[in-house]
C-alpha cells in the first residue's frame, strides 16, 4: 500500500520539469501508521472533564464536552473549556468541528478549530452563537467534535510562475451553483 506522501513525491519526481519546480515534502518525525494513531492520549486537567468519545462505531469525530457551565451570548462568542489536554498523534492534527444538531437547532458554530500535534495546553472550543437568544452550556454538554486528519508539511518555495489550470484564478462562486 502506498501512502499519500510517497505517492505525491513519486509523481512529482517522475514528472519532467526543471529542478526549480520540484516540491520537497518533509516527512513527519514519526511515520503515520495504524499503530502510531491507534491511541488518543488524553489528560484530564479537572475532575469534571469528560473524555472524548465517538457517538457511534463509524463516527469520524470524538465528541468534546464542556467542563464548566457557561453562556454564549446571542450574536456573540465564548471559549468553552474542555478541561482536557490531548496528545495529537504524530503526522496528524485535530480539527474542532461543529456538532450538526447544535448548528441546526440552536445556530451554534465553531471557530479557530485547529489543534496542532505539539500543543499540550487545555483544549478550548470557540463557539459562535448566530441565534437571537443566549445559549446555555452546562458542564458535560457535548459542544463540538474533534476530528483527526493526516497532515502534509511540504517546504515552501517561491516561484516566478505556477502551472496553468482550466479554472485559473476564478474563485468565490466561479464554478457556479447548478449541477
Which domains are delineated in the chain?
41-150 (2.70.40.10)
pLDDT at position 4, please?
44
The pLDDT tens digits of the residues spanning 34-67 come to: 555 689 999 999 999 999 999 999 999 999 999 9
The alpha carbon dihedral of 154, 156, 162, 166 has a sign of: positive
Going by pLDDT thresholds of 50, 70 and 90, the confidence category of residue 18 is very low
Quickly state the pLDDT bin for 25 (edges 50, 70, 90).
low
Q: How confident is the model at residue 31 (pLDDT cuts 50, 70, 90)?
A: low
| CB contact burial 109-146 (16+ within 10 A = b; e otherwise) | bbeebebebeeeebbbbbbbbeeeeebebeeebbbbbb
Residue 78 clears pLDDT 50, i.e. is over it: yes
- 102: enclosing H helix or E strand: helix 100-106
pLDDT band at 24 (very low <50, low <70, confident <90, very high): low
pLDDT of residue 16: 44
- pLDDT at 22 exceeding the cut of 60: no
Q: What is the mean pLDDT of residues 9-36?
A: 48
pLDDT of 88 > 80? The answer is yes
Triad 83, 88, 94: Cα angle to 5°: 85
CB 88 within 8 A of CB 94: yes
CA dist., res. 41 & res. 91, Å (int): 15
* pLDDT tens-digit map of 148-173: 999 999 999 999 999 999 888 888 87
Q: What is the mean pLDDT of residues 67-82?
A: 98
* Tens digit of each residue's pLDDT (9 = 90 or more) over 109-157: 999 999 999 999 999 999 999 999 999 999 999 999 999 999 999 999 9
Amino acid at each position: 500500500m502506498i501512502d499519500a506522501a510517497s505517492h505525491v513525491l513519486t509523481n512529482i519526481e517522475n514528472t519532467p520539469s526543471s529542478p526549480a519546480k520540484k516540491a520537497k515534502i518533509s516527512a513527519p518525525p514519526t511515520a503515520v501508521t495504524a499503530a502510531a494513531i491507534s491511541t488518543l492520549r488524553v489528560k484530564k486537567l479537572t475532575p469534571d472533564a469528560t473524555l472524548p468519545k465517538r457517538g457511534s462505531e463509524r463516527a469520524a469525530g470524538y465528541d468534546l464536552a464542556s467542563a464548566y457551565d457557561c453562556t454564549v451570548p446571542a450574536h456573540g462568542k465564548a471559549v468553552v473549556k474542555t478541561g482536557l489536554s490531548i496528545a495529537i498523534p504524530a503526522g496528524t492534527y485535530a480539527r474542532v468541528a461543529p456538532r450538526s444538531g447544535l448548528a441546526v437547532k440552536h445556530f451554534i458554530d465553531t471557530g479557530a478549530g485547529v489543534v496542532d500535534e505539539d500543543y499540550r495546553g487545555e483544549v478550548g472550543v470557540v463557539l459562535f452563537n448566530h441565534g437571537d437568544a443566549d445559549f446555555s452550556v452546562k458542564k458535560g454538554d457535548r459542544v463540538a467534535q474533534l476530528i483527526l486528519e493526516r497532515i502534509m508539511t511540504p517546504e515552501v518555495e517561491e516561484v516566478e510562475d505556477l502551472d496553468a489550470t482550466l479554472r485559473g484564478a476564478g474563485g468565490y462562486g466561479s464554478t457556479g451553483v447548478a449541477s
